Amino acid sequence: MSAVFRRRVAGGLLAASLALGALVLPARALTLEEAGKVVQLLGELEPELGRLAYDEEEADRWFDNDAGLDGRIAKAGFDRESWKEALGATFRGYLATIAAERFEATFSGLTEKVDASDLNAEQKTEMRSFVEEKIAETRALRAEGAQYIDAVQPYAARLDELLGDEEE
């Protein structure tokens, strides 16, 4: 087999992997500076855009709404994609900074509340499944956040004010 043929096959496999999403690239590192900018923007924009309930759609909504105001996200050096990446990494890193006992306590009693609700049996089963799925997703986000903890830790207290449980 010639070297040219091997390179073509390898290139084809790489292209196919990328097309199928099978190749997982390492996450881009979140810098201390980026985390600081995200935290500052969250604090500045919350009065106008409301409390952030993080997901990618919400990140897009904040970017779009801010663009219609003063464009502070763009002025801070973020485009839509870099904003979503930095916000997502900061959020995940924040989850990783929460003490395990406190983090797990947030889930305490959720399924019991579903069981005690006035829903019928089928609705309870669906709702219990939904709650368990969301708990698993949140735990996964927290695990992903471990790689960002160094950049986010200095801002953990402020993020707790901005993203933490409102009842605390």
Percent of the chain with pLDDT over 90: 67
Determine, yes or no, domain membership for 20: no
In this prediction, residues 81-105 reach a mean pLDDT of 95
> Residue 163 in contact with residue 54, Cβ under 8 Å?
yes
Cα three-residue angle 58-79-23, rounded to 5 degrees: 80
In this prediction, residues 22-42 reach a mean pLDDT of 77
> Residue 109 in contact with residue 58, Cβ under 8 Å?
no
pLDDT for the residue numbered 41: 97
Determine, yes or no, domain membership for 141: yes
In this prediction, residues 58-71 reach a mean pLDDT of 94
pLDDT for the residue numbered 27: 52
19: left (phi over 0), alpha (psi -120 to 50) or beta: alpha
Determine, yes or no, domain membership for 4: no
**Based on the structure, what is the number of domains in the chain?**
1
Alpha carbon distance 18, 136 (integer Å):
27
Give all strands (DSSP E) within 103-153, no chain letters: none
pLDDT for the residue numbered 52: 87
- Residues spanned by the domain of 63: 30-163
Check pLDDT > 90 for residue 109: no
Determine, yes or no, domain membership for 6: no
In angstroms, the Cα distances linking 147 to 27, 49, 71 are 9, 28, 29
Q: Residue 159 burial (CB < 10 Å; 0-12/13-18/19+)?
A: buried
Check pLDDT > 50 for residue 9: no
Check pLDDT > 70 for residue 45: yes
Determine, yes or no, domain membership for 5: no
